[in-house]
Structure 1
Amino acid sequence: MSAKFPTAKLTDIAELNPTLGKKLPAEELVSFVPMASLSAESAKVETTQDRPYAEVAKGFTPFLDGDVLVAKITPCFENGKIAQARLPRPHGFGSTEFHVVRARHGIAESRYLHHYLRLEEVRANGQRRMTGSGGQRRVPASFLADQAIPLPPLEEQRRIATILDQTETLRTQRRTALALLDRLTQSLFLDMFGDPLDNTKRWEWRCMSELFETSPIFGTMIPAEAEKGSWLCLRVANIQDWQLTLEDKKYVDLPTSAIERHSVQAGDLLMARAIASQEHLGKCVVAQPGDELWAFDSHLMRLRFRADKALPEFIRQMLRTPGGRNIFLNASRKSSVQYNINTKEISALEVPLPPLPLQQTFATRIASIEALKTTHRRALAALDALFASLQQRAFSGELTLAAPRSPAQSLAQLQQLEASIGLEALIFIAKRMPDGDLYNSLKAIYFADRHHLEHYGHQIYNETYCALPHGPVPQSAYDATRVLIGERMFSDFDDDAMRAALRRNDKKLTALRDADFSKLSRSVVESLEWAVRYCSDMKFGQTKTASHDSAYERTPKNEVIPLKYIIDTLPPEARQRHWNL
């Protein structure tokens, strides 16, 4: 994979499935990690259990805090159950379905190996090398042992791991936000309507058949294809976590006679009615096809409700509650190969039904929450793509520090804002400014720009400064901080990325992560560090006085400070060297 780094076999840089090495005292507590505790989504060991060594000494896999755990059995390996074990105890034990990778000290970093083994390419190759059959297929230890790992110097391994960790943190924050919004939705339902199973609010029980505009129906049996067909055919795979996802599209041509039966209208509830997992039986979405032609396949059931009886979004959210799931699953059944619910069973289902106006109030509130969730999902998709790109670049030796730019040859070259660098510069300063002082953080950007202009001949990210009453203000950075508290809707920076990285509380700016150093050149880091040191101990009045230089004084209040004025404040030798002024 790597064109720039030498490679080494995994077993040359790490121990694979090492033994415990020594017996522990029988009563010593160790951290026990069952397979369920290793999260494929967060790539972390989410929970551990304290157990005496005597209980786990036989029949379990030993490892140490910091080792990398690789689930070897299907489908855990394919799903990405690979994580560094960060344990509260020095010793850990867990499932026998773990391979253990222990980085050799001074040669490899555990976090670096963790990220490499999670590469999609590595997991795909591992899946092809699995041995066994059915649900007992496993990745052999020989597959990991033979892995040719790109091996940069230790410091570079640490830098790569840090960059990937930072991006993973952003992804985790987005997932957490989505989970919180999901819980908010459930809390709102329970607050307004109570638990459907207990029905403590005494709503009238109604049979679902009374609520339907048309009878429930299964979808088309016509096989859907990836490229052929005029109708987008929705399948169980298109309903993930009770949300519609159209990443995997397939199409059918519906005959005229089947259009009424198997087409989808706005407001139709599409439900998974036959599936291998009880957990996913009944998951459903409210369809909004717009101007597109949508159909649905035979593993889905279409429910079309009377507008004067029940709102589909109310029914969907009810079925997601624990009580609603209980009611629904009691009406379902299990065959030899899958869980099912048919049209008669869903029609006979009885549910508590509140008045329509209350359902409408609920649906309006849910729409606002769903809009927020859509924003977070789009941002998460972008972060997922960024993470995959960073992984590929990192292990091919392309994730280098930003190269220093050559000095600008004219003032016109100093005008175009580089927003991604600007955001990282603001994060860098906020992370290091004592007490998160907002005023000093913004002034530090100005001081850093002057320093960078003097020594390197160009600004850090081509910020524009305004002569406001308390000194020069970096307009893009200042506007970004105002977005954080709702004073502005948009800024020149990536507002989603900014909200995930920064918090503002009145006059305090807090960084939730460190800067992405792949976007900051060494010269930029040098100037930013200088500026933080320069003003970190200053009081408000001292910072104000220091920033009121000749460029500020020459500019009318509330106007943009011309870049020429700022350059005029620099030493003559710098102006001559960079711009021949």
Structure 2
Amino acid sequence: MGGLPAGWVRATIGELCDVNPRGFDEEPGDDELISQVPMAAVEAATGRMEASTQVRYGDVKKKSLTRFQENDVLFAKITPCMENGKIAKAQGLAGGRALGSTEFHVLRSRGAVLPEYLMHFLLQQHVRRTAERNMTGAVGQRRVPRPYLADLEIPVPPLAEQHRIVARLEDQLAHIEVGEESLADARERLADFIAALLSEAIDPNSEVSNWDTKTIGEMAVVSSGATPLKGRSDYYEGGTVPWVTSSLLNAPFVDRTEKFITGKAVAETAVKEYLPGTLLLAMYGEGKTRGKCSELRIRATTNQACAGIQLTAEYECRRDWVKLLLDARYEENRALASGGVQPNLSLGLIKKIKVPLPPLVRQRELLNKVAQRRADASSMADAIESVKLQAAELRRALLHAAFTGTLVPQDPDDEPASVLLDRIRAQRAVGAKPARRKRAPRETSPAAPTSGRPVPSGTQEALPL
């Protein structure tokens, strides 16, 4: 960490805190209300948590949950929660106590470190990245072990300076968060702008009555692909024919694939090969993939989750006009899906989608208008992303300044952190309970006990009071 300012000291979290204390400082009664805090109640990377859910302690005290109390610091130990920054100071707890996820480490300050200071230190991205490299366990269930966290060394300023650091840090971070919220709002507005633009382009009220309307089934050949038998290595090994799956249709164009099949698979199965210019519509897929439309820019085959739309020359309709319509009515198309566990868009449903057909010259005008406005929106999106990166860098620089002693000035009158730590250690040593010694087994005496009664074999005479 380099040199430290005067009055600062390095200490491990285990020296500063009780790591995973066994319970509350004061056990609540069965009828008292306490907070319940699942992992989902802790926000990622903000240090905030939601503690409004309350439960009667007697109803939950026997459950295997993590006990913590007001001002404890919660540290999510499991992947990906830890990497996402699910770290928070416990506050606003009902009765000052809570039960939470078993995937929390709990850090309870002994007095030499402010919980807010510790929380902000742990929220630093480089700290979380180092913790990630020290996780143990199987993939998907990796956790930060307690010994690693207890041995993690942090810079500790005098307590008075910690108060000044936290006050300045939280004031500046509040300004950054306001800016980040504005950026998020701008991104949402930009998405709404694009959606409104597309809707306006395909359905301008002043013109729609003069336009002809056709279904996709009338204007195009609609078909789907297939998946070659997985057990046939000769259908996949050494394949050079691009094979498109629905996940690729989230992009506006498909110009490359990660999967390939062999010419033999094309010849012997129901796989269909499409030419560049074919529109591909996702018939089903995870997340928001279903209903997405992409234009194929290479010769490729598809699986059964992709519908290929090949326009015929019978009607005057540009391919990019149909794609614009499918993009604009994405949510409507998704709603058409039917089925149980995995709703899908059948070929029959796709064929029934209606396409308004303005004259070709008007199609071109509207497409040019959309292209220009999309270019403007793209520039705005780039600007938003640039400012977002600047905000992240400002946050990183602010935290670095806080923990290297350059965020606020030092005060020579502050009690050095080492003095406070020594005093806390001494107080703990004085107040520590002596270790309980196990009573040594008493050897059986050959003499008869004084009571005159025989002592059964394997028992011991009671010790005198």
TM-score (norm 2): 0.56
Match of 2:16 among 10, 13, 20: 13
| 2:42 is equivalent to residue 38 of structure 1 | yes
CA deviations 1:320-352 (Å, max 9, x no partner) are x5x655556969969xxxxxx99x979958656
Aligned AA for 1:99?
H
Is the 8 Å Cα contact of residues 331 and 345 (structure 1) preserved in structure 2? Answer: no
CA deviations 1:220-244 (Å, max 9, x no partner) are x9xxxxxxxxxxxxxx9999xx899
* Residue correspondence of structure 1 range 310-389 to structure 2 within 5 A: 310=321, 312=323, 315-316=326-327, 318-319=329-330, 321=331, 325=334, 327=336, 348=350, 372-389=380-397
Gaps of 5+ in 2: 201-212, 228-235, 237-245, 259-272, 312-316, 411-465
Q: What is residue 3 of structure 2 aligned with on the other side?
A: 3
| 2:399 is equivalent to residue 395 of structure 1 | no
Is the 8 Å Cα contact of residues 332 and 345 (structure 1) preserved in structure 2? Answer: no
SS across alignment from 2:140: helix
1:84 Cα deviation (Å)? 2.0
Distance 1:308 1:42, change over 3 A: same
1:153 Cα deviation (Å)? 1.5
Is the 8 Å Cα contact of residues 27 and 52 (structure 1) preserved in structure 2? Answer: yes
Match of 2:138 among 130, 133, 137: 133
1:9 Cα deviation (Å)? 0.9
| 2:55 is equivalent to residue 51 of structure 1 | yes
Aligned AA for 1:7?
R
1:301 Cα deviation (Å)? 8.7
Q: What is residue 103 of structure 1 aligned with on the other side?
A: 109
Match of 1:83 among 84, 88, 96: 88
Q: How many Å separate the matches in 1 of 2:221 and 2:175?
A: 45
Q: How many Å separate the matches in 1 of 2:107 and 2:173?
A: 23
CA deviations 1:217-269 (Å, max 9, x no partner) are 99xx9xxxxxxxxxxxxxx9999xx899xxxxxx99xxxxxxxx99x99xx99
1:138 Cα deviation (Å)? 1.3
CA deviations 1:286-318 (Å, max 9, x no partner) are 99xxxxx99x9x999999997466465664465
Aligned AA for 2:53?
Q
Q: How many Å separate the matches in 1 of 2:139 and 2:12?
A: 30
Q: What is residue 162 of structure 2 aligned with on the other side?
A: 157
Q: How many Å separate the matches in 1 of 2:191 and 2:181?
A: 15
Distance 1:160 1:316, change over 3 A: farther
Aligned AA for 1:137?
R
Q: How many Å separate the matches in 2 of 1:237 and 1:123?
A: 31
Is the 8 Å Cα contact of residues 222 and 307 (structure 2) preserved in structure 1? Answer: no
CA deviations 1:73-97 (Å, max 9, x no partner) are 1111122211223325222221111
Q: What is residue 114 of structure 1 aligned with on the other side?
A: 119
Q: What is residue 75 of structure 2 aligned with on the other side?
A: 70
Q: How many Å separate the matches in 2 of 1:301 and 1:269?
A: 6
Alpha-carbon RMSD across the aligned residues, in angstroms, is 5.6
1:388 Cα deviation (Å)? 1.6
| 2:173 is equivalent to residue 167 of structure 1 | yes
Bigger CA radius of gyration:
2
**Aligned residues between the structures:** 351
Match of 2:149 among 144, 169, 184: 144
Q: How many Å separate the matches in 2 of 1:384 and 1:346?
A: 48
1:104 Cα deviation (Å)? 2.7
Q: How many Å separate the matches in 1 of 2:24 and 2:132?
A: 28
Is the 8 Å Cα contact of residues 42 and 49 (structure 2) preserved in structure 1? Answer: yes
SS across alignment from 2:184: helix
Q: What is residue 29 of structure 1 aligned with on the other side?
A: 33
CA deviations 1:478-524 (Å, max 9, x no partner) are xxxxxxxxxxxxxxxxxxxxxxxxxxxxxxxxxxxxxxxxxxxxxxx
Q: What is residue 530 of structure 1 aligned with on the other side?
A: none
Distance 1:23 1:62, change over 3 A: same
Is the 8 Å Cα contact of residues 34 and 95 (structure 1) preserved in structure 2? Answer: yes
Distance 1:386 1:308, change over 3 A: same
Q: How many Å separate the matches in 2 of 1:243 and 1:399?
A: 44
1:363 Cα deviation (Å)? 8.3
CA deviations 1:186-209 (Å, max 9, x no partner) are 599599979xxxxxxxxx895599
Distance 1:15 1:174, change over 3 A: same
